[in-house]
Chain A
């Protein structure tokens, strides 16, 4: 069963624009993480946000978490060609952390 679901599935924007992708989940969580994957490579961790946090920043990345709506968003500001990748959210259902479920991902393409 899918815990995290990202949308949109794919997103193309011009370089310099902001990119926003969303993740929805079904049950309570302790933490939510966002990862990036360049084509066929291993995932790279971006940000971890805990259930008692509402917003977190890291460089050009901003993550929000709304536990009442069971959703999170990842905003990439001033996008660059190097941001072209797939982005995944990861959660662990039911207040546990051991069994991890990834969403299907958002494919982001930055146009020059």
Chain B
């Protein structure tokens, strides 16, 4: 089954404790992206990747890191999480170069930073 898998689905942690949210897709898609969703603000793009070893900043990249060492994986790293990073996070992938093909979304990761 074609899917985008995020882990964990839920995480409660404390300020400053490094964490990684994994994202994996099994559709051989070139494009992958991370978004955060906050009430009243819609989805905002954090980082995206056009291909292996190619990443770029979205609208809200501060406090986040990403890597794309393999085509299928695109982890989101919070080196020193802070409470303002409490949010619902989505990973997505697309066969195109971004908005020229449909994106497939994961089920989301709800992060709470205390």
Contacts and interface: CB of A to CB of B under 8 A. Distances in A.
A42 B106 contact: yes
B98 A98 contact: yes
Interface string B74-114: 00000000000000101010001111111111111000000
B98 A100 contact: yes
Q: How large is the interface on B (under 10, 10 to 19, 20 to 34, 35 or more residues)?
A: 20 to 34
A98 B88 CA distance: 22
A101 interface: yes
Contact of B105 (A44, A48, A97): A44
Interface of B: 4, 31, 33, 35, 40-45, 48, 50, 56, 58-59, 88, 90, 92, 96-108
A102 B42 contact: yes
20 contacts: A1-B59, A31-B100, A33-B99, A43-B103, A44-B105, A90-B99, A92-B98, A92-B99, A96-B98, A97-B99, A98-B56, A98-B97, A98-B98, A99-B56, A99-B58, A99-B59, A100-B33, A100-B98, A102-B35, A102-B44
Interface in A34-72: 35, 40-45, 48
Interface of A: 1, 29-33, 35, 40-45, 48, 88, 90-92, 96-105
B43 A102 contact: yes
Nearest to B108: A42
B99 A100 contact: yes
* Secondary structure class of chain A's binding surface, majority of residues: loop
Given A98-B50, A102-B44, A42 B99 contact: no
A101 B58 CA distance: 9
A48 B102 contact: yes
